[in-house]
Each structure stands twice: as structure tokens, then as C-alpha cells.
A = this chain, B = another copy of it.
Amino acid sequence: MKRFLSRQALADLRALQDKAGRNAQNAFLIEGFKLVQEALQAQFPLQAIYFAGELPESIKVVLEQTSRVQPIPVLPISLTEISQITKMPHPEGILAVGTMSPCLAAQQEYAFPAIYLWEINDPGNLGTIIRTAAWYGIRQIWLSPGSVDPFNLKVVRGAMGALFQVKIRREFSAAQLLDLVEHQHIRLGVAEKEGGVADMELPEPWVLAFGSESHGVPAAIRETAQWIMSIPRYGYGESLNLGIAVGIILDRMRRKRDR
């Protein structure tokens, strides 16, 4: 097997599988043609692009345009090396390393509308939610302590480039949220199983909190909320998937504004 990466380079890239390694390097993995292309088009800061074989024309074109502003090294890699890094069985043959910090909201940098996710632990769900939130023009996504890391490869893949468009805030506690709501006059809505029908005007700036499918948000958040909203059920079932619920509530809120 041909090796392109030094032992150290491979170890550094493999360290990006884990949250600790990503935090230490301020970097995360971006895998696949479509995602790398979206990162380039969004002029998202990439530290390097690793490619197995010949770089396709579509990527070259975007890369050339981007590189006038910010030159990005393109380095050779093998498919086996990509698999070792991503643990994916069938790599497409392209891998980029993105800088993490531009995705993160600075401590006092708030933008609205925002959504707050309480202890979200399914990476596929979080990826889909980030993608959906970007579609509905949500500007920041705040994650409670105990949530899955948003730079997890599965989240990045599920977000389909939306990570390059919205800002993320990690380890944002209920106390911080409530302090913000109280002192900055931010409106807080909570989506719950038992609430009023989600069909109301929410004057901006607002943040919408979503809990887990089974346990909801902590009581302190629910009690502070100006709106508790639910999705009416027209058939059978105990609840909706969290990602679906986020999509439907955001659609209901955005649509309200249209009329």
C-alpha cells in the first residue's frame, strides 16, 4: 500500500475524530466532494485539502477562485489513509481540514433568531437540525452542556454545508440562557409535547428551545418561556422525531410571518 502521509500527519488527522483532538487543533474534518466544494464556495477557512488521485475540474475551478484570497495546500492521500482517518468504509477520496473557530459564536456575539437544543445526543439528528435551521434563516444554534459535539464527522456530514452558514455556541447552560432572556429582552419560546398550537407571532429577537423527545427542557426554562408551543397530532403516535419537530415548528413560525 502506498503511503502519502507521515506517521505524525496521519496521527494528527486521526486525532480529529475526537472532540479533544478537534479542540486541541482548532480543526475538524470535512469529507466528500460536495461538502468540500460547499466549504470552498462559502470561502470557509480550510487548512488543507487531501486528495486521492487527480483533483476533479469542478473542485479545481472553485479552488483557484478561493486561492486568490487564501491559498490552500492540496496534498496527496490514499483511500486507505482516508478510511483510517474517517472510519468510513467507502471514502469518496477527498478530505479537508476546516478551522473550527469561525463556526463558533464569540462569547458576546449573539444573533437572532436562534435555537437552543437541550442535551441533544444523536449526531444525525443534530446535523439535520443544523441544515434545517440554516434553511429557515436561523443565525445561531446554541447547544447545552451534555450535547453531542457539532464537529463530529456525522454531524458535519448531516449538516450538508450549513455549518458554514450558521454559528454554533457550545456548552451554553440553562442559567446563561435565562440570564440572557432576562437582561437582553430576548423572547424565549419552548417546543413541548403539551403546549399551545404553534401558530403565533414571535416578534424578533427570539430564541426557541427544544428538549429531548422524551424529557423536554428543564423546568426553569419552561417556566421562563413566553411561549410553550406544540405540534397538533392528526393521527397516531406519542411524539415526533426531534429533527422533524424542529423543521415543522420553524416552518410554522416563518410562514406566520409571510401572511
Contacts and interface: CB of A to CB of B under 8 A. Distances in A.
Interface string A158-196: 101110010000000000000000000000000000000
A137 B233 CA distance: 8
B160 A244 contact: no
Interface string A216-259: 00000000000000011111111011011001100110110010
A240 B162 contact: no
A53 to B, nearest CB: 23
Given A161-B238, A162-B237, A234-B254, 14 more contacts: A128-B241, A128-B243, A131-B237, A132-B240, A132-B244, A133-B235, A135-B236, A136-B234, A137-B236, A160-B238, A165-B235, A165-B236, A244-B244, A251-B252
A235 B135 contact: yes
Interface of A: 124, 128, 131-138, 158, 160-162, 165, 199, 231-238, 240-241, 243-244, 247-248, 251-252, 254-255, 258
**Total copies of the chain:** 2
A110 to B, nearest CB: 17
21 contacts: A128-B243, A128-B244, A131-B237, A131-B240, A132-B240, A134-B235, A134-B236, A134-B237, A135-B236, A135-B237, A135-B240, A136-B235, A137-B234, A160-B237, A161-B238, A231-B251, A244-B247, A247-B247, A247-B248, A248-B248, A252-B255
Contacts of A136: 234-235
